[in-house]
Chains A and B, each alone.
Chain A
Amino acid sequence: MERGIRARMYFFAFVVSALLFTVGVVLGWYFGISAATGMEKDLDRLRSEAYSLEILSLMDGANQTVACAVYSRGFGDLVYQTEQFGANLDYMESRKGKLDPDVMALKSDYASMQMRNYLLQQKMDERCEERSNVILYFYSNENYSPETDEGRQIAQVDREFGVYTYHFDVNTQNPAVTALKESYGVAVTPTLIINGRKYEGFRTAGELRGILSSQH
């Protein structure tokens, strides 16, 4: 029997496969862009809400009481939505990698957003004479393990104690985060600043409960 090699068919199959792959690459790229665009829109919406609440901080005199009431109704929702955005961003980072340009840009914007919310809260707490429970949570997604995910522990106690939590990835190249990190001398992750006091290393939900109770 004369054996042959179907070179033309192998070549044609290569061309078809390469075409399919190219379509896959283009579609994947398009869907990736769509996801990033969707995230940017979410961020714009959050910025707009934060901006509206910031205006409240400029109101004084007789308007201040009304401003405080409106603020206390709206701020919790803003913080919750920002946290959701952060969770989505973490997921996006886990899928696309921390070096993805979209992820890097969104993380920097997210850090600014968190910082802005934190400063707004500080200002409004002072003006409205309120004292909220605040946790500044400094974390790193490097060497992530679900067992030592401090975010999960915080989530178990934040509603119970009415805690506002601000998440900061220490690896984010954002001047505001760097300033905050340095002002508290954050050297390890996780580090928690609970109502101004620094706690280094992983804390269970039970331990967090103990800390928050003791501060009241």
Chain B
Amino acid sequence: MLLEYAIAFATTYVAVLFLLLYLEEAEGMEDPKPERFPSVSIIVPAYNEGEHIAKTIRSLLLLEYPGKKEVIVVNDGSTDGTGNVARRFVKKGVAVIDKLNGGKASAMNLGIRRAKGELVAVLDADSIVAGDALLHMVGYFDDPEVAAVTPMMKVWESRTPVQKLQKAEYILNSFMKKLLEQLDAITVTPGPFSVYRRSVFRKLGGFDEKTITEDQEIALRIQRANLRIASSVGAVVYTDAPKGLRELYLQRKRWYTGFLQNIWEYRDLVSPKYGDLGLFVIPVTLGLLVAGIYSLALIVANAISPITFRPDLFYVDLGMPQVIAAFIVLLALLTVYIAARSLRERNPLALFASALIMSPILTLFWLLILASAALNSLRGVKEAWRGG
């Protein structure tokens, strides 16, 4: 029982801390106005994305940006005609580089080597950028300590229930990322339209071609170099989210396996030298993961114990654990509401309902994936991937 209370207290503490962070930095949610417009190279690594890439490139060509910009598509040995689709845009200034298949990181690294811009943006070939996204992001680079800026990711056309769930999740993640920015503790620069200062790659090297979540690895490397990662809430990028449970399972399995590998690789970040990131964010993230696995075991144990419905108010428990659990749920709901309001979601109620109804189911699902990923990680099983 003591352990359950400790987990409940830790969860309350984290929720309270983030709400306090929000209250302290509410005005900092706005993106800064740029003082200048440095040149930008946008790299689109693509492997068998013939279906999506035309839309992706069109969105890049429509980007509003007064500074110089170049679009480089790196065709990573596609076999579905992705290169031919991309070449239809050459006349509009898009550069297309063909290479043998070597993985997303190798494609991005080739693009970076060819890039001329002061800033380098990378964009997954299944994502679409809002017209004003770059304008929202470049202002952050007026601060010379900022090495990278992450966008506000949204799910493109959420049609299936699984996609609708992810819509709420992506919005909440973007909100949390914005709060983590205040602690200099962002640990992932997502593939869909993160923007980097090109000098960062000269200083730290390109994307790691061995890891399966190169977007997290580069973020941790930036953190280790004590450079800043900012998060824009106005730069919207739409990405194609998994439609079904199986697709989602495979994606999350890769993400979580990569997360475990990277955290192990960068375990030296857990140190007072890295401030809030080292002393609070990474330890708490790991602690909550362990708590999550423990909670999953509790849920499973309760699920197999007999449940008898008794239509009597007497059986509505209102003991200490229930009151504390109710507080945690209220804090979570408050966070969802604030996130929806801050990110100007048109329908906070839908987000609220989605998070309220579906998040426990997703948590259960994700914890299963995490346990499986941890097992694979221990066994040394390699995850196959191509992007996304």
- Contacts of A12 on B, CB cut-off 8 Å? 20
Please state if B276 and A3 are interface contacts (CB–CB under 8 Å): yes
With both beta carbons as reference points, the residue of chain B lying nearest to A32 in the complex is identified as B319
Q: How far is the CA of A4 from the CA of B327 in the complex (A)?
A: 30
Please state if B321 and A28 are interface contacts (CB–CB under 8 Å): yes
Q: How far is the CA of A146 from the CA of B315 in the complex (A)?
A: 18
- Least CB distance, A149 to chain B, in whole angstroms: 9
Of the residues A23, A29, A32, A88, contact of B314 by C-beta under 8 Å? A88
- Least CB distance, B145 to chain A, in whole angstroms: 5
Q: How far is the CA of A9 from the CA of B24 in the complex (A)?
A: 10
Please state if B13 and A13 are interface contacts (CB–CB under 8 Å): yes
Q: How far is the CA of A184 from the CA of B167 in the complex (A)?
A: 67
Chain B positions 176-234 with a Cβ under 8 Å from a chain A Cβ: 183-184, 226-228
Report the contact-size class of chain A (Cβ under 8 Å from the partner).
20 to 34
With both beta carbons as reference points, the residue of chain B lying nearest to A28 in the complex is identified as B320
Q: Is B322 an interface residue (CB 8 A)?
A: yes
Q: Is B362 an interface residue (CB 8 A)?
A: no
Please state if A32 and B320 are interface contacts (CB–CB under 8 Å): yes
Please state if B17 and A13 are interface contacts (CB–CB under 8 Å): yes
Please state if A31 and B16 are interface contacts (CB–CB under 8 Å): no
- Least CB distance, A41 to chain B, in whole angstroms: 12
Q: Is B323 an interface residue (CB 8 A)?
A: yes
| A140-152 Cβ-contact flags toward B at 8 Å (1 or 0) | 0000001000000
- Contacts of B280 on A, CB cut-off 8 Å? 5, 10
Q: Is B273 an interface residue (CB 8 A)?
A: yes
- Contacts of B273 on A, CB cut-off 8 Å? 3
Q: Is B272 an interface residue (CB 8 A)?
A: yes
- Least CB distance, A116 to chain B, in whole angstroms: 23
Known: A3-B275, A9-B20, A9-B21. A17 touches B13 (CB 8 A): yes
- Least CB distance, A89 to chain B, in whole angstroms: 10
Q: How far is the CA of A34 from the CA of B24 in the complex (A)?
A: 40
Q: Is B2 an interface residue (CB 8 A)?
A: no
Of the residues A6, A17, A29, A95, contact of B16 by C-beta under 8 Å? A17
Known: A17-B12, A21-B9. A28 touches B319 (CB 8 A): yes
With both beta carbons as reference points, the residue of chain B lying nearest to A39 in the complex is identified as B314
Report the contact-size class of chain B (Cβ under 8 Å from the partner).
35 or more
Q: Is B277 an interface residue (CB 8 A)?
A: yes
Known: A13-B13, A13-B17, A35-B314. A5 touches B320 (CB 8 A): no
With both beta carbons as reference points, the residue of chain B lying nearest to A16 in the complex is identified as B16
- Contacts of A146 on B, CB cut-off 8 Å? 306
Of the residues A9, A16, A17, A28, contact of B322 by C-beta under 8 Å? A28
Please state if A6 and B323 are interface contacts (CB–CB under 8 Å): no
With both beta carbons as reference points, the residue of chain A lying nearest to B12 in the complex is identified as A17
Q: Is A74 an interface residue (CB 8 A)?
A: no
Q: How far is the CA of A91 from the CA of B307 in the complex (A)?
A: 11
Known: A21-B324, A35-B314. A1 touches B13 (CB 8 A): no
Please state if B183 and A6 are interface contacts (CB–CB under 8 Å): yes
Chain A positions 1-53 with a Cβ under 8 Å from a chain B Cβ: 1, 3-6, 9-10, 12-14, 16-17, 20-21, 23-25, 27-29, 31-32, 34-35, 38
Q: How far is the CA of A124 from the CA of B90 in the complex (A)?
A: 103
- Contacts of A34 on B, CB cut-off 8 Å? 318
- Contacts of B306 on A, CB cut-off 8 Å? 146
Please state if B16 and A13 are interface contacts (CB–CB under 8 Å): yes
Q: How far is the CA of A162 from the CA of B24 in the complex (A)?
A: 70
With both beta carbons as reference points, the residue of chain B lying nearest to A38 in the complex is identified as B314
Q: Is A96 an interface residue (CB 8 A)?
A: yes
- Least CB distance, B334 to chain A, in whole angstroms: 12
| A82-109 Cβ-contact flags toward B at 8 Å (1 or 0) | 0000001001000110000000000000
Q: How far is the CA of A3 from the CA of B272 in the complex (A)?
A: 9
Q: How far is the CA of A96 from the CA of B322 in the complex (A)?
A: 12
Please state if B276 and A21 are interface contacts (CB–CB under 8 Å): no
Please state if A5 and B9 are interface contacts (CB–CB under 8 Å): no
Please state if A91 and B315 are interface contacts (CB–CB under 8 Å): yes
Of the residues B276, B277, B317, contact of A95 by C-beta under 8 Å? B317
| A172-215 Cβ-contact flags toward B at 8 Å (1 or 0) | 00000000000000000000000000000000000000000000
Q: How far is the CA of A113 from the CA of B339 in the complex (A)?
A: 56
| B155-186 Cβ-contact flags toward A at 8 Å (1 or 0) | 00000000000000000000000000001100
- Least CB distance, B213 to chain A, in whole angstroms: 24
- Contacts of B323 on A, CB cut-off 8 Å? 23-25, 27-28, 31
List 21 contacting pairs A-B, 8 Å CB cutoff, sorted by A: A1-B226, A3-B184, A3-B273, A3-B274, A5-B276, A5-B280, A6-B276, A9-B21, A9-B24, A13-B13, A13-B20, A17-B12, A21-B9, A24-B320, A25-B320, A28-B318, A28-B319, A28-B320, A31-B322, A35-B318, A146-B306
A positions within 8 Å CB-CB of B: 1, 3-6, 9-10, 12-14, 16-17, 20-21, 23-25, 27-29, 31-32, 34-35, 38, 88, 91, 95-96, 146
B positions within 8 Å CB-CB of A: 9, 12-13, 16-17, 20-21, 24, 145, 183-184, 226-228, 272-280, 306, 310, 312, 314-315, 317-324, 327
The 7 A-B pairs with the shortest beta carbon distances in the complex, nearest first, are A28-B320, A3-B275, A31-B318, A13-B17, A24-B324, A17-B13, A24-B323
